[in-house]
Amino acid sequence: MKTTHAALAEKFIADEPRTDWHDETLWFVREKRDKAAHGLPEWEQLREWGSQIKNHTLSNLYNYLKEFEEKAVANGIKVHWAADGDEHNKIIHEIIRKHNIQKIVKSKSMLTEECHLNEYLQEHGIEVVDTDLGERIVQFRKEPPSHIVLPAIHLKKEDVSATFHEHLGTEKGNNDPQYLTEAARQHLRDKFVQSQLAITGVNFAVAETGGFVVCTNEGNADMGAHTAPVHIACMGFEKIIPKAEHLSVFLRLLARSATGQPITTYSSHFHKPRPNQEMHIVLVDNGRSRQLGREDFRNSLKCIRCAACFNTCPVYRRSGGHSYHTAVAGPIGSILNPNLDMKANADLPFASTLCGSCTNVCPVKINIHEQLWKWRQVIAAEGYVATSKKIGMKGMDFLLSKPKVYRFAGKMGRWMIRIVPFVVNNKLNVWYKQREMPEPPKESFRDWYLKNGKTNKK
């Protein structure tokens, strides 16, 4: 049977103290975000500007991408286009082969996760060292990141300690984050110094200048990119923005939304390779141009990958990133992934209560919860929900749209109890597993009203 968010979440929650810890840790990040946003009286205006700049960019994407390419090439950067993840991986593989590269460092790039670059290269006998601390931790553990900004947020320091003891020979049982980070620093400095190729992501690419910006707190993108003789920056084409001055809006929004910092430690602006360095940019589509054509969903392409929607999502905090079984988890992942593979990700738009908190924190005003609702309609129409659910819904419609049927069923008592298990096609009543049923009253409101409603008035 397919592993769904609901099933994986149930497994996650089985360890309740750990779930509480995960929830609290991410809520702490949400609170830091609130504090940072409160520090700027123009916060809501800033979100509006961010949203409008991105809307404009999507409406003129063709020209901006061509402008970017032209300027980047003039700056001495090699520009590649990849229609999908496989093409992206092949382009990178080809560069590696051409230079006979053995040592590769990579800073965080959710795009390379989306394209499964590491796995692809591994299959071809090439090892990539992830250099973001969180990513290195999960890489050692052979796990995918569980969060796009905090890749190892599902792990406790005891877990990290055990992993580092095994892979880096750190002291057994020393759980001090300072000590563990220092060990990673020493280990990865060696990797940086020896690196022949640095792969980075891109936070923003500027059409008017042909340059791109990479933001990190650790400095790992810079350590790699300024050391290796070859630098490949990978970006989904929606990372483009029109002008350098627009960076002000996005850099003000990004770190505050992500972690509550006023800005990331390093916001590095790359325009030209160093002397004797080769710099490449891979522009990736992988379903994005298709999403651009979906009117209801295109504005998901405004996303700047801050993960504020993860941290605020009450479902994410209590189910963990791995329960979303995709590279980009959380609410934004749940509206992006059905575009990539509707059948495999049909469960994700349902992994939400539609509470709307995600939409409220989004720095570029993506209407995430409304898109979750709309994806549900598309997924149901395309037939990617269980037949039992569909039959159940038809039954509900029959019951609820016909006043007489509705009242008759109501009189029979507890119609909801009858419907609910019917909908989930389960002999057990799922509601009752951890909750009592409401006690059915003697009469419905309508029955009461017919008897007392009119006479109740003075």
Partner 1 sequence: MKVALFIPCYIDQFYPQVGIATLQLLEKLGCEVAFPLQQTCCGQPMANSGFASLSKGCDINFVENFSGFDYIVAPSGSCVLHVKEHLKDESHPEEAKKIRNSIYELTEFLTDVLKVETINTRFPHKVGLHNSCHGQRGLALSSMTERMLPEFSKPEQLLSMVKGIQLSKPKRNDECCGFGGTFCVFEEAVSVKMGKDRIKEHDANEIEYITGGDTSCLMHLEGILKRQGSKVKTIHIAEILNSSL
Partner 2 sequence: MSAREKILNTIAINQPELTALPLIDRNALIRYEDVYAQFKTVLESIGGKVELVQDITELKEQLIADKASGNFVVNTIAALGDVDDQVVSFTASELEKLEKAYIKGTVGVAENGAVWIYESQMVNRLLPFICQHLIVVIDKKDIVPTMHQAYDSIDVAKEGFGAFIAGPSKTADIEQSLVIGAHGARSATIYVIE
Site for partner 1 in 4-43 (CB under 8 A): 5-6, 9-10, 13, 16, 19-20, 23, 27, 34, 37-38, 40-41, 43
**Among residue numbers 402 through 421, which ones bind partner 1 (CB under 8 A)?**
402-403, 406, 410, 415-416, 420
Q: Is residue 436 close enough to count as binding partner 1 by CB under 8 A?
A: yes
**Among residue numbers 115 through 144, which ones bind partner 1 (CB under 8 A)?**
none
CB of 427 to partner 2, least distance (A): 42
**Pattern of binders to partner 1 over 42-71, x per CB under 8 A?**
-xx---------------------------
What is the spatial distance between Cα 330 and Cα 197, in angstroms, rounded to a whole number? 31
CB atoms within 10 A of CB 164: 24
| Residue from 274, 377, 388, 451 binding partner 1 (CB under 8 A) | 377
Between 192 and 350, whose beta carbon lies closer to partner 2? 192
The C-alpha angle with vertex 11 and arms to 10 and 16, in degrees rounded to 5, equals: 85
Between 344 and 355, whose beta carbon lies closer to partner 1? 355
CB of 69 to partner 1, least distance (A): 38
Residue 223 CB contacts under 8 Å (≥ 6 apart), including other chains: 105, 131, 188, 189, 192
Structure tokens at 1: 């049977």
| Residue from 96, 197, 202, 361 binding partner 1 (CB under 8 A) | 361
**Among residue numbers 317 through 346, which ones bind partner 1 (CB under 8 A)?**
318-319
Partner that binds at residue 383, options partner 2, partner 1, none, CB closer than 5 to 8 Å by kind: none
| Residue from 162, 244, 342, 424 binding partner 1 (CB under 8 A) | 424
Q: Is residue 453 close enough to count as binding partner 1 by CB under 8 A?
A: yes
Q: Please list the helix, strand and coil fractions of the chain in percent, rounded to the nearest 5, in that order.
A: 55, 10, 35
Selection from 214, 230, 226 nearest residue 268 by Cα: 214
What's the N-to-C CA distance of the chain in angstroms?
Answer: 62
| Residue from 94, 390, 408, 451 binding partner 1 (CB under 8 A) | 390
Between 209 and 444, whose beta carbon lies closer to partner 2? 209
CB of 343 closer than 8 Å to CB of 384: yes
Partner that binds at residue 430, options partner 1, partner 2, none, CB closer than 5 to 8 Å by kind: partner 1
Instruction: Tell me the site size for partner 1, rule CB under 8 A.
Output: 80
CB of 122 to partner 2, least distance (A): 23
CB of 210 closer than 8 Å to CB of 103: no
Provide the 3-class DSSP secondary structure of residue 83: coil
The C-alpha angle with vertex 291 and arms to 288 and 293, in degrees rounded to 5, equals: 120
Between 220 and 300, whose beta carbon lies closer to partner 2? 220
**What 8-state DSSP symbol labels residue 438?**
P
| Residue from 161, 286, 339, 352 binding partner 1 (CB under 8 A) | 352
Partner that binds at residue 390, options partner 1, partner 2, none, CB closer than 5 to 8 Å by kind: partner 1
Total count of residues recorded for the chain = 458
| Residue from 74, 408, 430, 451 binding partner 1 (CB under 8 A) | 430
Partner that binds at residue 101, options partner 2, partner 1, none, CB closer than 5 to 8 Å by kind: none
Between 218 and 347, whose beta carbon lies closer to partner 2? 218
Selection from 126, 152, 150 nearest residue 139 by Cα: 152
CB atoms within 10 A of CB 370: 14
Q: Is residue 254 close enough to count as binding partner 1 by CB under 8 A?
A: no
Between 1 and 381, whose beta carbon lies closer to partner 1? 381
Task: At 217, give phi and psi (nearest 5°).
Answer: -95, -30
The stretch among 75-83, 98-106, 289-297, 436-444 that binds partner 1 (CB under 8 A) is 436-444
Q: From start to end of 98-177, where are the E strands?
A: 104-106, 128-130
What is the spatial distance between Cα 99 and Cα 230, in angstroms, rounded to a whole number? 9
Residue 152 CB contacts under 8 Å (≥ 6 apart), including other chains: 133, 134, 135, 137, 138, 145, 146, 160
The stretch among 53-61, 163-171, 281-289, 379-387 that binds partner 1 (CB under 8 A) is 379-387
What is the spatial distance between Cα 121 and Cα 411, in angstroms, rounded to a whole number? 64
Q: Is residue 446 close enough to count as binding partner 1 by CB under 8 A?
A: yes
Torsion of CA 275, 277, 278, 279, to 10 degrees: -80
Partner that binds at residue 435, options partner 2, partner 1, none, CB closer than 5 to 8 Å by kind: partner 1
CB of 191 closer than 8 Å to CB of 106: no
CB of 261 to partner 2, least distance (A): 7
Partner that binds at residue 65, options partner 2, partner 1, none, CB closer than 5 to 8 Å by kind: partner 2
Between 186 and 455, whose beta carbon lies closer to partner 1? 455
What is the spatial distance between Cα 117 and Cα 121, in angstroms, rounded to a whole number? 6
